[in-house]
C-alpha cells in the first residue's frame, strides 16, 4: 500500500508480516507439489474392470457398512459397497467443489477490493484450478462405475451450477431449495464486493473442509501407506492425491478466516449478520448424519429410492418385498453402522466449535453449534421411520 497517496484503508495486510509469510509459503508449497497433472493422467487410465476385485477404501468405508445389508452381503457385494462409498462420497465432494470454484472467485474479488491482497487471490486461483481437476477425476470414475454396474445414475449427476443444490441428498422441497438458491446468490454477490464477507466465506469453507479431512484422511490411507502408491487401485491413488491438495486448501482457509481477518476493520452489524447466517446455513446443511455414507451429512429419507434401486439391481437382485424389508432394517433399526455415523457427527460438532472459537463475531448459537448438536439418534430413527411408512418407490 502506498502510504504517500490517499487510501481507503489505514491498515494493510503488509503490517502483518508473519501472516504474509505463511500465505506465501503455503502457496509456494502447493504450487511445487501440485498434483493436477498426475490426477488427470491417473483418472484418464481408469478402467473399472482393472480394479473391480480390489478394495478401494478401508473396509469400514463402505456403503451401509455395519448394517443388515453389510452383514448379509457376499464378499463380492461387500467390495461393490466399498466402491459405491467412493462414488457416492466423491459425488458429494463434486457438489461442494462446484460451490468452492465460484465462491473462491467471488471472495477473491471481495478481498481484492482492498490493497495488497494479491497473494491471497493467487492462492485461490491455484486452488480453483485444482478443484476443476478434482471434479473431473471424481466424475470420470463415478460415471464409469455407474454406467457399467447399473446403466443409469445412482449418486452421480450431470454438471450443474452451485445454485442447484450444495447437498446431494438433502432435507428439502421445491420452496426450500428455491429459497436456498436465492440465499446463495445473495451471498456470492455480497462476498464479491465486501472484504469481510469474502474473508468470512473461508470460515464456512474451513468447516466444510474440516469435515472432509476427517473422512479423506481415512480414504487416502491405503495408497499413502503402500510402498508403491502407483500400484494401488486408481481410485485409492486419487483419494491420496486429493487429500494432499486439500491439506493446503485447509491451511489457506485457516489463514484467511482467522489471521487475515485481523487486518480488516471489525465487521459492521450487517456484516456480522451475513456471516452468522452463512454459519447457520452450514449447521443446517450438516444437521443430519447418514448410515449409508458415514461422515457425509445426508438426509437418509432422501436416499431411500436410490438405495431401493440398488437393492433391486442385479448386484443384489432383491424383489420388492425384500428390498423394502432391507430398507427398514438398515435405516430404521439401531446398528453398529448407525452408531458410528452418529459418533462422527458428534465429533464434527466438537471440531467445528473449536474452529470458530477464536472468532469474535460468531453468535453464541453458531459458537456452540446448537442446531447441529440437536441431531440425535432418537430423532434420526423417528424421522426415518415416519419417512419409510410414506415411502413408495418411484
Cβ proximity to Fe ion, 67 vs 251, nearer residue: 251
Span interacting with Fe ion, options 128-136, 146-154, 181-189, 362-370, rule CB under 5 A: 128-136
Distances (CA, A) of 346 to 219, 301, 355, 373: 20, 20, 14, 7
Percent helix, percent strand, percent coil in the chain, to nearest 5 = 70, 0, 30
Min dist CB 133 to Fe ion, Å, is: 8
Please tell me the distance from the alpha carbon of residue 313 to that of residue 319, in angstroms, as a whole number.
9
CA distances from 19 to 14, 164, 208, 368 (A): 9, 36, 22, 27
Please tell me the distance from the alpha carbon of residue 93 to that of residue 85, in angstroms, as a whole number. Answer: 12
Q: Could you tell me the smallest distance in angstroms from the CB atom of residue 309 to Fe ion? A: 28
User: Which grid coordinates belong to 163?
Assistant: 445454485
Nearer to Fe ion, 249 or 299 (CB): 249
Candidate segments 214-222, 244-252, 261-269, 320-328, binder of Fe ion by CB under 5 A: 244-252
Nearer to Fe ion, 134 or 324 (CB): 134
- The stretch among 131-139, 251-259, 286-294, 309-317 that binds Fe ion (CB under 5 A) is 131-139
> Which residues, 6 or more positions from 69, have their beta carbon under 8 angstroms from its beta carbon?
81, 311, 316, 326, 329, 330
Q: How many helices (H) and strands (E) does the chain have?
A: 16, 0
Among 35, 134, 258, 345, binds Fe ion (CB under 5 A): 134
Distance CA 62, CA 60 (A): 5
Query: Residues binding Fe ion: what is the number (CB under 5 A)?
Result: 5
Q: How far is the CB of 63 from Fe ion (least distance, A)?
A: 21
Between residues 65 and 90, which has the closer beta carbon with respect to Fe ion? 90
Going residue by residue from 92 to 111, which x/- string records binding to Fe ion, judged by CB under 5 A? -----x--------------
**Which of residues 79, 208, 240, 249 is near Fe ion by CB under 5 A?**
249
Q: Which is nearer to Fe ion, 202 or 308 (CB)?
A: 202
Left if phi > 0, otherwise alpha if psi is -120 to 50, otherwise beta: which for 315? alpha
Q: Which of residues 97 and 300 has its CB atom nearest to Fe ion in the complex?
A: 97
**Residue 341 Cβ vs Fe ion, minimum distance, rounded to whole Å:** 23
Instruction: Enter the C-alpha cell of residue 89.
Output: 462420497
Q: Which is nearer to Fe ion, 246 or 300 (CB)?
A: 246
Question: Of 109-117, 154-162, 249-257, 373-381, which segment contacts Fe ion by CB under 5 A?
Answer: 249-257
Site residues, Fe ion (CB under 5 A): 97, 131, 134, 246, 249
Amino acid at each position: 500500500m502506498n502510504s504517500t497517496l490517499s487510501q481507503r484503508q489505514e491498515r494493510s495486510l503488509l503490517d502483518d508480516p508473519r501472516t504474509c509469510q505463511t500465505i506465501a509459503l503455503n502457496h509456494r508449497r502447493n504450487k511445487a507439489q501440485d498434483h493436477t497433472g498426475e490426477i488427470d493422467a491417473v483418472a484418464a487410465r481408469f478402467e473399472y474392470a482393472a480394479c473391480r476385485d480390489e478394495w478401494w477404501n478401508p473396509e469400514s468405508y463402505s456403503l451401509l457398512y455395519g448394517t443388515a445389508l453389510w452383514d448379509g452381503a457376499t464378499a463380492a457385494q461387500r467390495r461393490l459397497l466399498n466402491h459405491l462409498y467412493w462414488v457416492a462420497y466423491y459425488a458429494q465432494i463434486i457438489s461442494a467443489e462446484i460451490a468452492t470454484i465460484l465462491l473462491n472467485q467471488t471472495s477473491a474479488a471481495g478481498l481484492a477490493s482492498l490493497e495488497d491482497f494479491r497473494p491471497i487471490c493467487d492462492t485461490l486461483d491455484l486452488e480453483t484450478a485444482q478443484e476443476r481437476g478434482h471434479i473431473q477425476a471424481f466424475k470420470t470414475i463415478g460415471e464409469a462405475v455407474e454406467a457399467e454396474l447399473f446403466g443409469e445414475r445412482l449418486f452421480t449427476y450431470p454438471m450443474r451450477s452451485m445454485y442447484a443444490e450444495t447437498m446431494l441428498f438433502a432435507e428439502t422441497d421445491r420452496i426450500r431449495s428455491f429459497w436456498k438458491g436465492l440465499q446463495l446468490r445473495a451471498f456470492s454477490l455480497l462476498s464479491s464486493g465486501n472484504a469481510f464477507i469474502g474473508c468470512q466465506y473461508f470460515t464456512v469453507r474451513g468447516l466444510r473442509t474440516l469435515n472432509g479431512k476427517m473422512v479423506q484422511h481415512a480414504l487416502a490411507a491405503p495408497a499413502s501407506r503402500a510402498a508403491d502408491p502407483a500400484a494401488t487401485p486408481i481410485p485409492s491413488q486419487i483419494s491420496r492425491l486429493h487429500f494432499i491438495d486439500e491439506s493446503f486448501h485447509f491451511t489457506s482457509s485457516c489463514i484467511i478466516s482467522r489471521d487475515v481477518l485481523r487486518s480488516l476493520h471489525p465487521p459492521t452489524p450487517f456484516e456480522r449478520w451475513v456471516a452468522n447466517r452463512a454459519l447457520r446455513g452450514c449447521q443446517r446443511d450438516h444437521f443430519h448424519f447418514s448410515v449409508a455414507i458415514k461422515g457425509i451429512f445426508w438426509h437418509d429419507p432422501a436416499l431411500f429410492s436410490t438405495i431401493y434401486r440398488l437393492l433391486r439391481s442385479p448386484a443384489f437382485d432383491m424383489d420388492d418385498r425384500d428390498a423394502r424389508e432391507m430398507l427398514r432394517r438398515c435405516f430404521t433399526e439401531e446398528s453398529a453402522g448407525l452408531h458410528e455415523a452418529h459418533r462422527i457427527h458428534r465429533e464434527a460438532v466438537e471440531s467445528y466449535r473449536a474452529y470458530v472459537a477464536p472468532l469474535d463475531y460468531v453468535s453464541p448459537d453458531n459458537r456452540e453449534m446448537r442446531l447441529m448438536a440437536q441431531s440425535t439418534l432418537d430423532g434420526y430413527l423417528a424421522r426415518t421411520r415416519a419417512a419409510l411408512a410414506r415411502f413408495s418407490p418411484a
